[in-house]
Amino acid sequence: MDWAMLIEWVVKALLLTVILLTGFAYTTYLERKVLAWIQVRIGPNRAGPWGLLQPAADGIKLIFKEELIPAYADKIIFVLAPVITMIPALIINAVIPWGREVVIFGRKVALYLADVNVGVLYIMAVASISVYGVVLAGWSSNNKYSLLGGLRASAQMISYELALGLAFLPPIMLAGTLNLREIVEAQRSMWYVVYQPIAAFIFLVTSIAEVNRAPFDLPEAEQELTAGYHTEYSGMKFALFFMAEYTKMIAVSAIFASLYLGGYLGPFESQFPWLGPVYLALKIFLGLFLMIWLRATFPRFRYDQLMALGWKGLFPLALLNVVVTAGVLALVG
């Protein structure tokens, strides 16, 4: 293990974290602006030009807020829960490839943090444990609305994870690898969304359910559960939940782009590897815009509708899609 390598990894990890956290701040801005435009309002426009400093103002406000812990809450888990929510949202991004290799100061640097041969499984593993934070927040608050929110979150996750896992399979089968970078490279001739529109659709729907965004935001449903699992949270602890939600939105968009939209690939990328991150950023932006658009358009599902859609609609469809894909691949070779 040489030192330059170690420094390179640390720098890349720090850079990725900073990019993600800045991305989170401006995703909140994007959401407020886009929602405002869709609803024929103006949106944040006071802090800085076009309201661009709004995320900074929000952050400062949250830091100075009082941190409340309910009297009969389970204090250890109450404090740990926001952290447990935030960590998976950050580390899931470790395996996403941002490009191939570039030369910086005469040194070849790969534009990805970890090139793991089970990258897709890593994503599934981290996604599957990301529900703990929400469930524990709901339970430790000692508040019936919070508990209901936490329970809803775990039921929803378990129901939608199956279809989500099955939507991961077609790109793996087409590329013949579990390595995310190789899956992206395999899409040089054609994006997988063209071969697998059904799987891409299922992935989109289930991943929105996994990040608890509208129309699947039942765990926090403000009208019935008064914000659900994070009712009792304030200040920076609340900010961590907020951060986790938006970081997960970015991560999900990046994973969707890598699996179905050719990741960092795009015109002239083979000559100019620096274009890779730009293309991926554009595709992530598309995903974020789509999620915000959906939130502005669709009303929330009722709980039984959510379960029926997951178990009777998406799950059989995803299963059928996998079987058909496997059959076609076996026949064609």
Partner 1 sequence: MSLMVLFVLMGALALAAALGLLFARNAVYAALFLVLNMLALAVLYLTLGAPFLAMVQITVYAGAVMVLFLFVVMLLGAETLREEGGPIAWQRPLAAILGGVLVGTLSYILFVEATTGKILPPPEDYATPYALSVKLFQDYLLPFEVASVLLLVAMLGALVLVQIERKRRRNDDQTSD
Q: Considering the complex, what minimum distance in angstroms separates the CB of residue 124 from partner 1?
A: 5
For residue 101, list its beta bridge partners.
110
Say which amino acid occupies 207.
S
Closer Cβ to partner 1, 47 or 186, answer by number: 186
Instruction: Give the C-alpha separation, 193 to 309, whole Å.
Output: 22
Task: Return the closest-CA partner of residue 91 out of 165, 13, 19.
Answer: 13
Return the ∠ at Cα 274 (arms to 273 and 277), rounded to 5°. 105
Q: Which residue has the tokens 């910086």?
A: 104
- Strands (E) in the chain, as ranges, are 101-104, 107-110
Q: Considering the complex, what minimum distance in angstroms separates the CB of residue 156 from partner 1?
A: 11
Q: Quick one: DSSP state of residue 301?
A: P
Closer Cβ to partner 1, 102 or 116, answer by number: 116
- Alpha carbon 220 to its chain's center: 17
Closer Cβ to partner 1, 197 or 316, answer by number: 316
Closer Cβ to partner 1, 203 or 279, answer by number: 203
C-alpha dist (Å) from residue 160 to 51, 167, 303, 308, 312: 37, 11, 13, 11, 11
Instruction: Give the C-alpha separation, 63 to 287, whole Å.
Output: 29
Gyration radius from the chain CA atoms: 20
Q: Considering the complex, what minimum distance in angstroms separates the CB of residue 10 from partner 1?
A: 16
Closer Cβ to partner 1, 74 or 185, answer by number: 74
Q: Rounded to 5, what percent of the chain is helix, strand, coil?
A: 70, 0, 30
Q: Considering the complex, what minimum distance in angstroms separates the CB of residue 118 from partner 1?
A: 5
Closer Cβ to partner 1, 87 or 109, answer by number: 87
Instruction: Give the C-alpha separation, 256 to 319, whole Å.
Output: 19
Q: Considering the complex, what minimum distance in angstroms separates the CB of residue 276 from partner 1?
A: 25
* Residue 259 and residue 273 in contact, taking contact as beta carbons nearer than 8 Å: no
Q: Considering the complex, what minimum distance in angstroms separates the CB of residue 132 from partner 1?
A: 7
Instruction: Give the C-alpha separation, 85 to 88, whole Å.
Output: 6
Q: Considering the complex, what minimum distance in angstroms separates the CB of residue 127 from partner 1?
A: 8
Closer Cβ to partner 1, 33 or 181, answer by number: 181
For binding to partner 1 (CB under 8 A), which residues are involved?
Answer: 74, 77, 116-118, 121-122, 124-129, 131-132, 135-136, 138-139, 147, 150-151, 154-155, 157-158, 161, 178
Closer Cβ to partner 1, 157 or 202, answer by number: 157
Q: Considering the complex, what minimum distance in angstroms separates the CB of residue 231 from partner 1?
A: 16
